[in-house]
Each structure stands twice: as structure tokens, then as C-alpha cells.
A and B are shown apart, each in its own frame.
Chain A
Amino acid sequence: MGEHTTESVEALLRSQGLTGPEFDPARIAEALSGWEEAGRELDRLLTEHEGEARSLNPTVFSAEWETGR
């Protein structure tokens, strides 16, 4: 099940006001293990590109890219 237990997920859901039969902590905990793997994939990419992400502004295109042919 990864880092999350049913109990820890239940606490997280409760802290966000997500209670009731629509929120099944066991199921969410199981699903979260896939997200943990996705997180590790992102870690790998970031490790390979250490430092690079800091230099880019997500909301602005560089003139070089727009016109640099």
C-alpha cells in the first residue's frame, strides 16, 4: 500500500472535511500508491535536471523560442 495507511488517509480526508460514504479511505490509500510511484518518477526527472527547473518561469515564453529560427 506504500506510504499511506487507511488510518492515515482517513485522517487526511477528515482534515479536509471529506467525510461520508463517498470517500473510502482504504480505496484512496490503495490509489495513492500509484501516485507515490508517479512522484518517484518526477523525482528521477528532477534529479537528472538538477537546477534547471529553477531558471524557467512557467507563465512566460522566451523570445528565443518564439522567434529563434
Chain B
Amino acid sequence: MTSSTISSISRRLRTGATTSMEVTQAALDAIGQVNERLCAFVLVDEEGAMQAAEQSDRALEAGRPTGPLTGVPIAIKDIIDMEGLPTGCGSPAYPDTPRDRDAVIVTRLRKAGAVMVGKTTTHELACGVYSPPACNPWDTARLPGGSSGGSGAAVAAGIVPMALGSDTGGSIRIPASVCGIAGLKPTFGRVPRTGVETLAWSLDHLGPLAASVRDCAISLQVMAGPHPSDPSTGSYPVPDFSEKLDRGIESLRLGVLAGPPFSPMQEDVEAAFQNGVSHLKSLGARVTPLEIEELNYTMPAEFALVATEGAAYHRRLLKEWPNLIDPGIRELLTIGTILPTGHYLKGKAARQIIRNALRMAFNTHRLDALITPTLPATAARSDQDNFEYGATVEDVTSSYVRTTAPFNLSGQPALTVPCGFDRRGLPIGLQIAGRPFDEATVLQIGSCFEETTDWSEAKPPIHTGL
């Protein structure tokens, strides 16, 4: 039941085929069934969820659903505040004290009628791609990606149709890709971040990991829009993100990025990506191969910002409770504390050059979107440190981040959709990045791809099958 999409659950709720209490209980039962193996949830709010479901059922019975998510169970990454519950941030240093108010994004989801069943596992401080102890439902010996790994696993396992994530260098798209689901990082400034733990304030984004691209559109509709508490949200108008989902992609102009930082990649990823591009062409898209040399500098620019902004935000944690921080993250924050200011400023300047290069590519080639492999590799084993690409050895984190972080630096919207499987049966993702605030076109392309392929239909071995 909950393995269905938001759209199908909503339809069944509104026709009376089921109730929110039934759907929510099914989600809670699913957590009970699989969470011991997946560790996707760190906290389950059974009482709060059933109360919200009961309210939803009353609204539905009265013919007055409160919004597009009325009665639908969802999950929240555990760096996002929910009133009455602690925010653990994957860290032993965070107190168990309940937060006294909802994050803005949670308030919006509640108003839209969503039923929140619990909080999902995050990599510590949202700073990593492994998200232990969470596992990948396709192979529990493998990581679910990160830092929103619990959200990826929860959706892929069919527990909920949508879970919230955050994305500083790929933390929505990485777990979505390795778990075989859709994940959208909206434009920087599209979704307010008030009430959410920070990693790097100039790179952090919030967005959905979902069972379908359409669910990403429905969810974003609820989350998006300015809020006075987060000045980055400006006053950008919010369009109808679902309006173009069924239009096809005839004549859209797509730039296909090749070369570093998108190469090297695993052979099976390359094959699936090329098949995906061919498929987009067969649907009528006009495809232009592109290389953008400046993207080679993605990693030094990204990490200059993450280390220093992260160190500034977590300065008290680092100083007072260093023993409670993972050694790798502690080293990053320590270095961020003592790096010269010039390093940060060079990172900021490099970021502008990268943004400018991407802007020029869009305008010169009159592009509607860029297409890339979401990641150069599929899910690593949870104990794996490196990938090997021929003679090249690269650590897992760098491998995953180099293809996603360009769009954190640029702030453009970027979506991942499943586009195949490797020889081990692990999912592969295709990334679609659009113009700033043009999520509608990104979702249009993703939806068309999803609807005309069957990659999103496959279910992992651990699936609640409700």
C-alpha cells in the first residue's frame, strides 16, 4: 500500500478505498518489519502519526482535505526539527531534548496534510555519504548513500512514498541514485531552511526523495516559496511544478556533459547513461555533447566552502565536545577552522567562475537542461573506502560528490531518476540539471524519462510490498 506513490495513495484516500489510519498503520508496521535490518529510521512517532492520520480521516470524510498530502505518510531526515521530538543529526553530541517548534518546511508539510511517521537516519552532521548504520535495501552489505541515507532506504523499501532530505554536495541525489528512486535538489533559495541543522549555509538545500518524479513535483509544491526567516528564499514566484509533467520532451535542448568530473566512471554506469541519453533522443530531445573545463575545479571549491562554513557553524561542538565527533569529520572541521581566510575566498571566487561557466553553457547552446550520470559508481559496500576505475583509485566520498556538487555550487535544480542497473543488480541514476528556478522543466524531463522506461518499477529485495 505505502509502496505506492503519493498520487495513488491520495486517490485511494479521496475515493474512500482506504483511510489514512490504515495507510499510516501499514507504514508503521513496515518500519517494524524491516527497520532492524535497514536502520532507516532513528525515531518512530507512532502516537503523533496516528493522531495526524485520524485528523486526516476526519477531514477526508468531511470532503475537506487540508492539502495535496492529506493522510499520506512521509518521513523527515533527522536534521530537521519537529516540535516535541529531538533532532539527533546523527551525532552523539546532540541532546535528546525535544525541539520546541517545527522547521518551516515541516509546518508546510503538516498544513498540506502530511502524516509524519518518524525521523530518518542521517550521516553524522549531514557530512558524509555512508549514513551508518543504515543499509541499502538492494543489498544490505552496501551503503544507502548519504547524507540522507535513511530517507533513501525508507522510500526504496516502500515504507513511505516520500522522505525529506538535505543536499550540500549531493546528499539527496546520492542516496536516491544508489537506492533506485527519484530525488530532487531544488534551486538554492526555493525552499526555506529555517529549523534545519546547517552544514554549509551557502550550499545547503532541502528537497524530496520520492517514489516517483511526480511525487517530487507534488512535494516541492508544498515546500516551495519564500519565508521571511530565510532571506535566501527571496521572493521568487512558485509555479505549478506538475503542469508540464505530461508534455513530453519533443524539441527540448539537452546538453550532455562528458569528461571530468563526470569521468572516469564504472563501465556499467557508462553503458546505462549512454542508453539513457539515446532514449532521451528517441523521445525527440535535441542533444548537444558538452565539456565544461571549469567543472574540474568542483572539488577544491566545494570543500573550501564546506570545511570553513561547517567549522564556523559547529565551532562550539568542535571546541567543547571534540571526542563526540567522528574523527574524519573532526579533521575536516579542524582544518576548516585554521585554513586561511584566503582559501575560503578563493573557493567563493572559484564557485562564481563555475557558475558563470554553467550559465554560459546554457545560454550559448540555448539549453533547457544538462544531463549527466548522477554518480560515476553504484552503491559501495559499507566497509569500502575506494573505487577503482582502471588504474585510477578514488575514495568513495570524492567519487560520489564530484558529479553532484557542481550543482550545489551553481545552485541550479538537479534531479536524479533511475536509468538502469549494474551487473550486480544495483541501481544507476541519471541526473538532470536545469536553469535556476526552472524545476518544472527538470521534472518534465524526468517524468517523461520515468514514464517511458521501467527502471523505476523494479523493487529491491527488502521491500515491504504493502
Show the binding face of A for B, using Cβ within 8 Å: 9, 12-13, 16-18, 20, 22-23, 27-28, 31-32, 35, 38-39, 41-43, 45-46, 49, 52-53, 56, 58-59, 61-62, 64-69
Contacts and interface: CB of A to CB of B under 8 A. Distances in A.
B144 to A, nearest CB: 28
Contacts of A67: 435
**Would you list the 5 A-B pairs with minimal beta carbon distance, nearest first?**
A53-B349, A38-B300, A22-B322, A56-B352, A42-B346
User: For chain B, which range describes its interface: under 10, 10 to 19, 20 to 34, or 35 or more residues?
Assistant: 35 or more
B339 A35 contact: yes
Given A53-B352, A68-B363, 13 more contacts: A16-B337, A17-B319, A18-B322, A18-B334, A23-B322, A32-B335, A35-B307, A46-B349, A53-B350, A58-B351, A64-B363, A65-B363, A65-B435
B359 interface: yes
Interface in B337-364: 337-339, 342-343, 346-353, 355-356, 359, 362-363
A52 to B, nearest CB: 6
Nearest to B367: A69
Interface of B: 187, 202, 232, 253, 294, 297, 299-301, 303-304, 307, 318-319, 322-323, 325, 327, 330-331, 334-335, 337-339, 342-343, 346-353, 355-356, 359, 362-363, 366-368, 411, 435-438
Contacts of B339: 35
- Among B202, B300, B331, B363, the most chain A Cβ lie within 10 Å of the Cβ of B300
17 contacts: A18-B318, A18-B338, A20-B322, A22-B327, A23-B322, A27-B331, A38-B303, A42-B297, A42-B347, A46-B353, A52-B356, A53-B349, A56-B356, A58-B355, A66-B437, A68-B363, A69-B253
B331 A31 contact: yes
Given A59-B232, A65-B363, A16 B350 contact: no
